[in-house]
Amino acid sequence: MNNSDCIIKISNLAMNFHTPAGDIPVLNGVNLEIHKGESLAILGPSGSGKSTLLFIVGLFLTPTAGSYVLNGREIIDIDEKNKAEFRRNYFGFVFQSCNLIENSTVFEDLEYPLIYAGIPPRERKERIDEVLTRVHMGHRIYHRTNLLSGGEQQRVAVARALVNRPHVILADEPTGQLDSENSQNIMDLFLECISDKKTALILVTHDHKVADRCAKTCYFNGGTLTEVA
Ligand SMILES: Nc1ncnc2c1ncn2[C@@H]1O[C@H](COP(=O)(O)OP(=O)(O)O)[C@@H](O)[C@H]1O
Ligand SMILES: [Mg+2]
């Protein structure tokens, strides 16, 4: 693998949350390198900092210290405006809590990022149909998101993360509410997305069957990440 394939290189990352009750150290020297076409599963106990790391990678949180090189560019100190642009251009994020837009339909929820990206209406509809079919939610396209079951919301959240064809898929326990057949279906979809060798996948999971389908597995504990052989 050559260096130009490296899409994310994170070194010596630290994160302390400052709270009135004192500092909460969560990440303490995290190193992470991921290449285009690679898949990484992150395992680890609850509260160990997995979501925090994913939020930092997805540029929703700024770390306390460290280096973050995205596609060859150091971005640890970029301003909020650039951050928002990188976030939009690079990442598809599946949040642990789904975070679907309240009072909208599945279609509207998925259309939002495409409008932002300047995709014309007809292509928007085509892309939404395609990705919803892939997560077996095509029959719910005009359903209100708040009427969906937990597992259905999770599948829509996955579709929304993929509809913009991101360079990096970041998924925080994306199969936590799914049965094993739907979990494997989501993994099929993720792995197909990265098979273009341009996209990378980082996912957090508790499910070893899901982790086993990724090329690499890391274990999070004590604020650092260790690769599992
Ligand atoms: N905004 C915050 N302020 C203070 N503490 C936080 C904040 N976000 C997360 N934490 C703490 O950081 C630790 C790691 O949280 P998290 O990354 O969500 O863990 P995981 O995803 O591995 O379960 C937890 O102890 C949590 O309480
Ligand atoms: Mg979490």
- 132: phi then psi, degrees, rounded to nearest 5: -65, -35
> Which domains are assigned to the chain?
38-61+84-228 (3.40.50.300)
Could you tell me the two tokens for 204?
Answer: 């957090």
What is the distance between the alpha carbons of residues 25 and 130, in angstroms, rounded to a whole number?
A: 42
- Please name which ligand lies nearest the alpha carbon of 26: 1
* Pocket lined around ligand 1, Cβ cut-off 6 Å: 17, 19, 24, 26, 44, 46-52
The pick from 46, 51, 64, 202 for probing ligand 1's pocket by mutation, whose C-beta has the most ligand atoms within 8 angstroms, reads: 51
Q: Whose CA is nearest to atom 13 of ligand 1?
A: 47
What's the pLDDT at 208?
95
Give me the tens of pLDDT residue by residue for the chain, a chain 229 residues long.
566 799 999 999 999 999 999 999 999 999 999 999 999 999 999 999 999 999 999 999 999 999 999 999 999 989 999 999 999 999 999 998 878 888 899 999 999 999 989 999 999 999 999 999 999 999 999 999 999 999 999 999 999 999 999 999 999 999 998 999 999 999 999 999 999 999 999 999 999 999 999 999 999 988 999 999 7
Give the per-residue SS3 of the chain: CCHHHEEEEEEEEEEEEEECCEEEEEEEEEEEEEECCCEEEEECCCCCCHHHHHHHHCCCCCCCEEEEEECCEECCCCCHHHHHHHHHHHEEEECCCCCCCCCCEHHHHHHHHHHHCCCCHHHHHHHHHHHHHHCCCHHHCCCEHHHCCHHHHHHHHHHHHHCCCCCEEEEECCCCCCCHHHHHHHHHHHHHHHCCCCCEEEEECCCHHHHCCCCEEEEEECCEEEEEC
The pick from 13, 17, 61 for probing ligand 1's pocket by mutation, whose C-beta has the most ligand atoms within 8 angstroms, reads: 17
pTM, two decimals, is 0.95
What's the pLDDT at 2?
64
Place of tokens 């992150």: 42
* Amino acid symbol at 104: S
Cβ burial, residue 49 (10 Å; 0-12/13-18/19+): buried
Q: Whose CA is nearest to atom 24 of ligand 1?
A: 47
For residue 30, the cross-strand partners are 13
Q: How far is the CA of 49 from the centre of ligand 2 (A)?
A: 7
Ligand 1 atom closest to 48 (CA): 22
Place of tokens 């099929």: 188
Could you tell me the two tokens for 125?
Answer: 């509809």
